[in-house]
Every structure is written in structure tokens, then in C-alpha cells.
Amino acid sequence: MWLLPSGQRGRPAFLSKEVERFRPRDIPYDSIVIQRGQGYVTLAAINWLVLHNVSVTILNWRGNVLAQILPEEPISNELKITQYRATLDEGKRLLIARSVIETKESRQQEFLSSLGKNYPVKAPTVLPFASSRLDDMDYLRNHEARYAVEYFKQIQKVSFKLGFEFRGRTTTEHNQKAPDFVNALMNYSYALLQTYVRRAINAIGLDSSIPFVHEIGNSRALVHDLMELWRTNSDYAVIQTLEQLGFRDRNHFLTDTYEAMLSQKAISLLFQNFKLNMKLEEIILNTRRFASFLLGRSQTLGFNLKPVVVKETFEKDAVREMILTKSHRELGMNKSTLWYQRRRLKETGSIRLYAKTRQRFA
């Protein structure tokens, strides 16, 4: 769970005061994310959180991680030594890189296929690695990059369908300085994913600066490696946020350098959707699997990841007309459900019907 600041109706979040009290060893949060420039945290509070195994992350307005306070990592000299040896062993490093890239591309393909239930997207075929190039790290990275280009072309179709501009993520400039609302959401979502992955790496005792896919030279290089496995979860959180926002609303602002800065409403929705799509336990479990492979306790490297399940939507002009004109009794649904559908239809121009409510319009 996440602990986030929230404001009262009609009052800016930074002016509101919300007090939560917890008994020792009974706090229901595993992470606290601070996303605003106002306020303070006492040393006593930080000490209490660290003792209760709660991490604290500070983000800037771009969604970049400025700092992260993590619980003390375990003593794992043997694991770190095997990690260093593995990254120097060209064969083992290539094997790990192939496993990560294959898993990422496979999940991207599955995600696009699932999105095809609701949007006009087509999952590109994942081409197998050329057997003659399996020992070429540059080839493996280019393989991943080429599929990523095709993947984001399909995500762009979804964004346009929902009424939002998305210029893609083919340049470093777009990744670091979001030129549009969708890129800004992705940057934020990936920052949240980074906090989870870094916490898992810290909990297991790996060295976050020693990678297997990315180049050595970044203090979070291994974090970026393992993040690849769950980027589709982050992307779905972004799409769900777009579905819930009206494209005509003021969801972001442009800075004087023409970077997209998210509104507080957009950030709050993204946090909620990310929470639903990502579980820290799964990341820790798979990081532990990775550590077991490095230590030689497992002879094969395999990740056990839950698929990203896209909720199917059901939209027709006739259904919209029924929602706007008929009463909840005529439709045989709960009054609050009908109120929610009308509000969503007014704000976004579309509706989403699940389970029992969808059966009524079939």
C-alpha cells in the first residue's frame, strides 16, 4: 500500500491536514511517496518508519526519484561476490540479458493482444534471436529496442483513440523531458515502479549498480534491468488513467521549457491505478529467484510473473442512449452504478461496463 497526501474538497492538498495514527508494528503501509515541495518529515518519524520496514521516496514534479530511504539491507557478501563474478562472466551475463529481454518482449506482446479486445491495436510478432548473434550484447539490446518502437506505436493508437496526444518514446529527450501528457504519465509510472524494484533489490541484498542488460556506470543500473520485467504493468496503469480522465480537462500544464507537468488529479489517479496493477511481493519473489540463480541454487533462470489482465470494455451508441434516458429501475441496476456511468459518460464521452452491468446490455 501507499500513503499519499490528499486534500479536502475545494481545498489544495498542501493546505489540508490529515492525521493518521498507528500502533508499533501495526502500520498498514509498506511505502510512503512524497510528491510535493511543501511540508517536512521529522527525524523521529524517519527512524520510526525505517524500524517498521517502510520505505520513503521523494519525487520531483517530473516524477524523477530524488531520494529513497530504505530499510537496512541484509548482510549478503556471498551474493554480491557471485553477482560481480556473473557480470564478468560473458556467457552468464548474456544468458541473463536474453532471459530479461525475452520476458519483456513476450509480456509486451501479450499485453497488446489483450488490449486488442478494446482498441484497434495489433501485437507485432516477436522475432526469435538469431542463433549466430546470441553472444552479441549490442544485438540483444537492438532487438529489444526495435520491438519497443513497434510496441509504443500501438500504445500511441490507444492514446489517440482516447483523445490524447502521444509522441512516442523513441528519443531520450522524450523519456527525460516529457513533451506531452502521456509521456509525463509514463515517466511518473516508471518512477513508482523504480521505487518498488529498488526496494526489492535492497531487501535481497544485491548491488543495484551492477547490471546485466544496461551499461555499467549508473548507480541504479540493476534496478533498470529488473524494471523491464514489469513495465507493461506501469503502461496499463497509464492507460487506465487516460480512460478515467476527460481529454478536454486540464490534466497537465506546460512549463516555460515546454515540459508537461501533471495535475494533482492526474497524479492521484495514476497512483491508484498503479497500486492495483503492481504488487511488491511479486517483485521481491522474482528478485529472490534471480538471486538464487546467481548463487547456483537454481540451474535455470525463470521469472514467475502474473499476466497483465486488461478489463474488457463494452461500448455502443444504443447503450449510451439507454444510460442517459432510462432510470435505474428500468435498467435493473443499482442507483449509484447508474450515477457513476452517467458521470463517466459526461466527463470522458465513454463508458465501461463489467460483469453484471454488462450482461444487462448484451
Angle at 259 between CA 240 and CA 104, to 5 degrees: 45
Name the residue with higher pLDDT: 320 or 169: 169
> Tens digits of per-residue pLDDT, 311-326?
876 555 567 777 888 8
Report pLDDT digits (tens) over 5-41: 444 444 444 445 677 888 887 888 878 888 766 778 8
pLDDT of residue 315: 54
Which segment, 177-186, 205-214, 215-224, 248-257, is predicted with the most confidence on average?
Answer: 205-214
- In the chain, the number of structural domains is 3
Whether residue 279 sits in one domain with residue 172: yes
Is the confidence at residue 174, as pLDDT, over 80?
A: no
Indicate the residue among 53, 69, 85 that finishes a domain: 69
Q: What is the pLDDT of residue 122?
A: 92
Q: pLDDT tens-digit profile of 51-90?
A: 888 888 888 777 788 888 887 788 789 999 999 999 999 9
> End of a domain among 69, 86, 106?
69
CA dihedral 322, 326, 330, 334 (to 10 degrees): 90
Q: Is 234 among the domain residues?
A: yes
Q: Could you tell me the residue range of the domain that residue 38 belongs to?
A: 2-69
Reported confidence tier of residue 172, pLDDT bands at 50, 70, 90: low
* Residue 283 predicted with pLDDT over 90: yes
The mean-pLDDT minimum among 20-24, 169-173, 333-337 falls in 169-173
CA-only gyration radius of the chain, Å: 22
Mean pLDDT computed over 196-205: 94
Q: Report the distance separating Cα 140 and Cα 133, nearest Å.
A: 8
Kindly state whether residue 300 falls inside one of the protein's structural domains: no
Cell numbers for 31, please give them: 511505502
CATH number, domain of 124, equals: 1.20.120.920
For residues 113 and 344, the model is more confident at: 113
Average pLDDT of span 217-231: 93
Q: Assign 356 a pLDDT band (cuts: 50, 70, 90).
A: low
Mean model confidence pLDDT for the chain:
85
* Claim: this prediction has a pTM higher than 0.85: no
- The CA angle 36-70-295, to the nearest 5 degrees, is 140
Among 123-137, 176-190, 344-358, whose mean pLDDT is lowest?
A: 344-358
> What is the per-residue pLDDT across 238-259, written as a single tens digit (0 to 9) for each?
999 998 887 777 788 888 788 8
Whether residue 29 is found in the same domain as residue 123 = no
Last residue within a domain, chosen from 37, 69, 101: 69
Measured CA to CA in angstroms, residue 152 lies from 87, 249, 354 at distances of 30, 24, 27
Return the DSSP state at 253: E
23 part of a folded domain = yes
d(CA 39, CA 272): 22
Give the pLDDT band (50/70/90) at residue 210.
very high
